[in-house]
Amino acid sequence: MSKIEKALNKAREGRGNLQVVPVAGAVHVPGTAVVADSAAHPETIPRMAKSEVRLLGAGELAQRGIIQPQHSEDPAVQVFRELRTRIVQKSQGQNAVILVAPVSKGCGGSFIAQNLGAAFAFDMGKTALLIDCNLKSPSVHRLLANGSAPGLTDYLEKPDLDLAEIIRPVGIARYRVITAGKREILAEHFMSGKMKRLMDTLQRRYQERFIIMDGPPMSNISDIRILSELSDYVLVVARYGRSTNRQIDSCLGAIGDKKLLGIVFNDEPRIPRIF
Amino acid sequence: MSLLPEQIPRALVNESFHSRRLVVSIFVIVNVVVLTAGFLWPKGYTASTSILVDERTIIQPLMQGAAVATDALDRSRNAREVIFGRKIMDIALEHGGWLKTQPSVEERELLIEGIKKRTVISTVGKNILRIEYQDVDPMRALRVTEKFAELFMQESIAAKAAESGAAFAFIEKQTQEYQDKLASTEQELKELRSSTLDVRAGSEGEVTTRLNDLYRRIDTAMQELREAEVKGASLERQVSGEAESTAAISREGQYRARIADLQAKLDTLRLSYHDTHPDIVQVKQQIQDLTEGINTQRLRREQTKRSGKSEPDESVVNNPVYQQLRREQSQNQASVDALTARIEELQRQLQSEVSRGKRMHSGDARLAELTRDYQINRDIYQDLLRRRENARVSMNMDSDRQGLTFKIQEPATLPLAPTGIRFSHFVLGGMLLGVLIPLGLLYARLQLDPRIRIGSAIAVAHKLPMVTVVPHMWSPADLKALRWELVLLTLVVVATVAASGALSVMRLIKVL
């Protein structure tokens, strides 16, 4: 039994809701969760195992542009792990709501948000919930087989819709998403009490849950201001060969230093080792 | 976006990879363009010849010291003027075989311009002229170069002969001018000399002596005149005033002596007689007469003094001293008149002598001027005579081609290898430019484009605690496509390089 398993068992005895399920055949990285291709659920959180769908295979993950823990040599994997560690350090072990907002459209904010969620889900002691707050061009639904299921806007509009109905597994252990939903609503709904209560509920219900909000471009200042109010930290995404210092300056002005976590410089071209 | 020097290489590599298709496209395009230029670039065969020239201008040594010749023009420029002249170019066109196709006037002009562009005329050292001509045909390059050298020498010799002829003509004309000038000066000098015969060089001393003598004589005469005048005045005074008064005083004295005698006689008579005695009355009458006489004399003397005229009485006139004075006075008057006449004569002579001196001076100045002109003209004339003979010899030498100073130092040879930029240079240049141009463009984009391409620059620019750089994530499908793309791009580059190399080799072995 590894040290991690010992620690987890100890935690289970203390909290009574954790379970270690070793995965046969998968590359086991100490301290991280494993996304396996097997039919068995490697879910360490029992409440999640019940509602888990078929886990995505390596090919499907790669197709969706999601990092995989077994590719530990991959610079992208290392970077997202590093990012996760920094956030955890910053939140001093508490869970947190992180708003990921691109400087402008096309900077890859959704890519960063999805992979940051995956990086949190790597950790068997943490879960990740990705909320698609980019109502104008949502993208989280593409992770799902059935993208047309109700999402955030439906929940905010329909009083009878249960929260459990919009939180959906994506086929990655300890990773859930809330899609943007089908309804076209105004961004002012983010200011509503229901939205605030939703965020409070999501954050307080499970201490190990890290919530990542896939935000709209920061050019949409009003939405960003509202969403940053709902979040603990803001991560700005700039893109190689697209964002300018002037754009970044105006974004940083809109957020303020208190919640700003840092900037992610996305899509730097590096020659991959392909041969 | 400004980059730090250490960031540039990595940024260039990233950017090159990012824009790999563009980079390869530019590489191929640049190579194709440069290779096309290489194909179109005419092959050049250069033939050259050297001519030893001892081309000193005729006029310069001839006129040395007497006139300043203008600076000799640049030799190669002169040669270019001669060779590029219409006459030689027409002969070159004919000799090079360009006229076989019977070109139009415009075509001929274009051909001539082409020949001029391909001809280089330069000087090697001081006296060697080098003519280089480049042509696509080595034989024609040789023929045209030889012809250029031959025609240049012919033209230069002819020009030199013309130059020496012109120099002789010029000196001849100058000589004639100076001869005329000399003759006219001589004539003028002659006339001046004959018109001022009395004025000769050396007369100035005599005039001065004579003038001095005249001044001295006038001074002496004036002195004597003044003395005579003083003497005359003295004599006059003696004759008129002093003698008269002396005579008058002596008469009064006689009267007083008589009065004294009569007074004594009267006193004696009074001792014996009364005053009424006739003797006493007579004596008294006599005394009164004498007293009146004295008064009369005194009045007369005073009147004489006032009028200045003396009327000497007979006693005085008969006085020998008086007569002596009168004689001396008349003699003195005669000498005064003589002296006055002499002074007038001397002054007239002085005037004449002064005017002669003035005339002599003006004549001397003109004479000196004419003499100077004459001497200068004579010197120049003699010099020109000598130069004219030199010029005649030079002209004769040139006309007999005795002064030939051209020699072919290095004859033109048939060029075997092409010169100038070769095809292989184009190939190498294409490769180099194909790499450098895209890199330069990318560098320019990095420097000028405000969009960020270096992650660490963000942390510096915005003083942020955390900047995470996420590399591009390749999906397996992307990687596969990238693999194929890279293989394809590599093949394109290799094919371009191979094609360039093959073309270079084919060109070398003259297949193309």
Confidence (pLDDT) at A16 = 40
Does the structure show a pLDDT above 60 at A39?
A: no
A241 located within any domain: yes
Task: Report, as an integer, the average pLDDT of A24-50.
Answer: 45
How far apart are the C-alpha atoms of B442 and B438, rounded to whole Å?
6
Q: A259 lies in a domain?
A: yes
Q: Which residues of B touch A59 (CB under 8 A)?
A: 476
- pLDDT at residue B255, rounded to an integer: 87
Q: Does the beta carbon of A256 lie under 8 angstroms from any beta carbon of chain B? A: no
CB contact under 8 A, B18 and A271: no
Quickly tell me which residue has 């609503």 as its tokens.
A185
**What pLDDT sits at residue B342?**
92
Q: Model confidence at A48, in pLDDT bands (50, 70, 90)? A: low
For B476-509, give one letter per residue: b (16+ CB within 10 A) or e: eebeeebeeebeebeeebeebbeebeebbeebee
What is the value of ipTM here, to two decimals?
0.79
**Cα separation of A117 and A66, whole Å?**
10
The token pair that represents A165 in the structure block = 């109905």
Candidate ranges A106-120, A159-173, B308-322, B498-512; pick with highest mean pLDDT: A106-120
Q: Which residue has the tokens 């995470």?
A: B468
**For residue A51, what pLDDT band results from cuts at 50, 70 and 90?**
low
Q: What pLDDT is recorded for position A254?
A: 83
DSSP B220-231: HHHHHHHHHHHH
Range of lowest pLDDT (A17-31, A42-56, B131-145, B200-214): A17-31
- Is residue A22 included in any domain, yes or no? no
Note the pLDDT of residue A35. Answer: 40
Q: What is the arithmetic mean of pLDDT over B373-398?
A: 87
pLDDT band at B317 (very low <50, low <70, confident <90, very high): low
Contacts of B130 (CB under 8 A, 6+ apart): B48, B49, B50, B51, B120, B121, B122, B123, B124
Query: How much is the pLDDT for A27?
Result: 37
For chain A, percent helix, then strand, then coil, each to nearest 5? 40, 15, 45
Distance between CA atoms of B39 and B500, rounded to whole angstroms?
A: 11
Answer yes or no: is pLDDT of A26 > 80: no
Q: If pLDDT is split at 50, 70 and 90, which confidence band does B207 have?
A: confident
Output the DSSP codes for A172-219. Answer: STTEEEE---S----GGGGGSHHHHHHHHHHHHH-TTEEEEEEPPPTT
Contact B49, B408 (CB under 8 A): yes
Contact A271 B13 (CB under 8 A): yes
Q: Which two tokens stand for residue B123?
A: 């000087």
Q: Rounded to the nearest 5°, which phi and psi values hold at A53? A: -95, -175
**Domains of chain B in sequence order:** 5-169+399-452 (no CATH), 203-371 (1.10.287)
| Pick from B29, B6, B8: nearest CA to B435 | B29
* 8 Å CB contact of B14 and A270: yes
Residue A38 has pLDDT above 50, yes or no: no
A274 touches chain B (CB under 8 A): yes
3-state secondary structure B19-63: CHHHHHHHHHHHHHHHHHHHHHCCCEEEEEEEEEECCCCCHHHHC
Q: What is the pLDDT of residues B145-178, one digit of tens each?
A: 988 888 888 887 887 788 888 888 999 999 999 9
Q: Note whether A263 contacts B486, CB cutoff 8 Å.
A: no
> Is A260's Cβ below 8 Å from some Cβ in B?
yes
* A60 at interface of B, judged by CB pairs closer than 8 A: no
Dump pLDDT digits (tens) for B424-450.
889 999 999 999 999 999 999 988 999
Greater model confidence, A16 or B335: B335
Output the pLDDT for position B244.
Answer: 61
Residue A133: per-residue pLDDT = 93
Residues B273, B261: Cα–Cα separation, whole Å? 18
The CATH number of residue A173's host domain is 3.40.50.300
In our burial notation (b when 16+ CB lie closer than 10 A, e otherwise), range B117-155 reads ebbebeeeeebbbbbbbbbeebebbbbbbbbbbebbbeb
**How far apart are the C-alpha atoms of B234 and B409, rounded to whole Å?**
117
> B455-466: per-residue pLDDT in tens?
888 887 888 777
Whole-angstrom distance, CA of residue B295 vs CA of residue B300: 8
Is B438:B15 a contact under the CB 8 Å cutoff? no
Chain B contact probe: residue of A86, A265, A267, A273 with most B CBs at under 10 A: A265
Q: What is the pLDDT, as a whole number, of residue B479?
A: 87
Other Cβ atoms closer than 10 A to A222: 13
- Better pLDDT: B36 or B203: B36
pLDDT (mean) for B347-373: 85
B316, amino acid identity: V
Q: How far is B485 from chain A (nearest CA, A)?
A: 12
Q: What is the dihedral of CA B100, B102, B105, B110, to 10 degrees?
A: -40
Place of tokens 């002579």: B349
Distance from CA of B450 to the nearest CA of A (A): 6
The mean pLDDT of B366-387, rounded to a whole number, is: 89
Assess whether pLDDT exceeds 60 at residue A41.
no
Query: Which of the residue ranges A186-190, B99-103, B497-501 would you say has the lowest mean pLDDT?
Result: A186-190
What are the CA-CA distances from residue A85 to residues A92, A127, B41, B465 (Å)?
10, 14, 65, 15
pLDDT range class, residue A30, cuts 50, 70, 90: very low
Residues of A with CB below 8 A from B450's CB? 244-246
Read off the pLDDT of each residue in A271-275 and give the average, rounded to a whole number: 75
Q: Are strands A260-268 and A209-214 parallel, antiparallel or unpaired?
A: unpaired
pLDDT one-digit tens code per residue, A73-88: 888 899 999 999 999 9
Total domains in chain A come to 1
pLDDT in tens, B233-269: 888 888 776 556 666 666 778 888 899 999 998 999 8
Query: What's the confidence (pLDDT) of residue B62?
Result: 59
Give the pLDDT band (50/70/90) at residue A14: very low
Least reliable range by pLDDT among B53-62, B116-125, B279-288: B53-62
DSSP state of B416: -
Q: Is the pLDDT of residue A159 over 90?
A: no
- Average pLDDT estimate for B34-58: 80
Look at residue A25 in the predicted model and tell me its pLDDT: 36
Beta-sheet strands, E only, within A3-161: 97-102, 127-132
Q: In which band, very low, low, confident or very high, does the pLDDT at B313 lie, cut at 50, 70 and 90?
A: low
Contact call for B470 and A268, based on CB within 8 A: yes
Find the range with the poorest average confidence among B40-44, B104-108, B279-283.
Answer: B40-44
Assess A270–B contact: CB distance below 8 Å, yes or no. yes
Amino acid at B202: G
Residue A248 in any domain: the answer is yes
- What is the spatial order of strands in the sheet that A233-239 belongs to? A168-169, A175-178, A127-132, A209-214, A97-102, A233-239, A260-268, B467-471
* Type of residue numbered B466: M
How many whole angstroms from its chain centre is CA B395?
Answer: 33
Mean pLDDT of B391-416: 77
Q: Is A125 helix (H, G, I), strand (E, B) or coil?
A: coil
Contact A240 B18 (CB under 8 A): yes
pLDDT digits (tens, 9 = 90+) for A249-262: 888 888 878 899 99
Comparing A70 with A34, the larger pLDDT belongs to A70
The radius of gyration of chain B from alpha carbons, rounded to an integer in Å, stands at 66
Q: Write out the residue range of the structural domain in which residue A76 sits.
A: 71-266
What is the per-residue pLDDT for B24?
A: 96
* pLDDT (mean) for A209-226: 91
Mean pLDDT over each residue of chain B, to the nearest integer: 84
* Mean pLDDT of all residues belonging to chain A: 82
Using pLDDT thresholds of 50, 70 and 90, give the confidence band for residue A177. Answer: very high
| Beta carbon pairs, A and B, within 8 Å | 116
Q: Does residue A31 belong to any structural domain of this protein?
A: no
In whole angstroms, give the CA distance from residue B429 to residue B32.
Answer: 11
Angle between helices B476-508 and B423-448 (to 10 degrees): 150
Q: How long is chain B?
A: 512
Has residue A220 got a pLDDT over 50?
yes
Tell me the pLDDT band of B407, cut-offs 50, 70 and 90. confident
Judge whether residue A130 has pLDDT over 60: yes
- Domain membership of residue A26 (yes or no) is no
pTM confidence score? 0.55
Smallest Cβ–Cβ distance between A238 and the set B1, B452, B473 belongs to B452
A53: in domain:
no
- Winning range, highest mean pLDDT, from A10-24, A200-214, B124-138: A200-214
φ, ψ of residue B51 to 5 degrees: the values are -120, 125
Tell how strand A209-214 and strand A97-102 pair up.
Answer: parallel
Residues B473 and A77: beta-carbon distance below 8 Å:
no
Closest chain A residue to the Cα of B486, Cα to Cα: A274
Residue A16 lies in a domain: no
Residue A241, pLDDT > 60, answer yes
Average pLDDT for residues B503-511, to the nearest whole number?
80
Tokens (6 digits) for B228: 């005579």
